[in-house]
Amino acid sequence: MKLFSALYERVMRWAAHQHAPWYLGGLSFAESSFFPIPPDTMLAPMSLAKPKKAWSFALITTVTSVIGGLLGYVIGAFFFPYVEPILHNYHQWDKFLLTQALFNEYGFWFIFIAGFTPIPYKLFTISAGVLNMAIIPFVMASLVGRGARFFLVAGLMVAGGERMEKVLRKWVDIAGWLVVVIILIAYLLTSP
């Protein structure tokens, strides 16, 4: 089933749109605090479509991600009583407690590593707010971690160029379904 190749083609068209940087910034902001789709899904094709603008796309993604992370921080600091029932309903409470324990132990480094990994960043931004992490270290760790990740994505797309685009186009359906299977298995293994 070629579901992901059709989505890939659509994202490539969106990436060339004149307002694409605004969409990228909005997606990046939202993902850091409440939205589930990572901005890499738009950053990578935009960097492939317009390689001369890849570094500015990475900068937009980084800055808006950190600003969105501050919203996640505010959610954790001031609105956590409203978020907690959602974590319980979706069986995420144990993961949240683990995140908090690691956060208490590693602080700055935990945010730095979280910003670079594909782990949902919103878990860390909300935890930082709940635990009242100092804002300056939070912002600095976020800038470095998220920036490293997004500039790496942009750099890989620029370096790979047309070859990378051909590889993505060829394997996008298999990779997409593989991710779906991994998510499903992870869900089944972690649900009560």
Distances (CA, A) of 140 to 108, 115, 163: 9, 11, 35
Q: How many domains does the chain have?
A: 1
pLDDT tens across 61-104, in order?
999 999 999 999 999 999 989 988 988 887 878 877 887 787 77
pLDDT tens across 115-132, in order?
766 667 887 888 889 888
pLDDT tens across 170-188, in order?
766 676 677 667 666 766 6
CB under 8 Å to 154, separation ≥6 — which residues? Answer: 43, 47, 54, 55, 57, 58
User: Cα separation of 175 and 170, whole Å?
Assistant: 10
Domain membership flag for residue 113: yes
**Residue 71, CB-side half-sphere exposure with 13 Å CA sphere:** 15
First to last CA, the chain: 31
Domain membership flag for residue 182: no
Give the pLDDT mean for 45-72. 93
Domain membership flag for residue 175: no
pLDDT for res 171:
66
pLDDT for res 92:
76
Q: How much is the pTM?
A: 0.75
pLDDT for res 7:
66
Residue 192 has pLDDT above 60, yes or no: no
- Identify residue 82 by its one-letter amino acid code: Y
Domain membership flag for residue 190: no
| Domain containing residue 80 | 14-161
Domain membership flag for residue 108: yes
Distances (CA, A) of 94 to 10, 90, 108: 37, 11, 22
pLDDT tens across 137-170, in order?
999 999 998 999 899 889 988 988 777 767 766 7
Domain membership flag for residue 109: yes
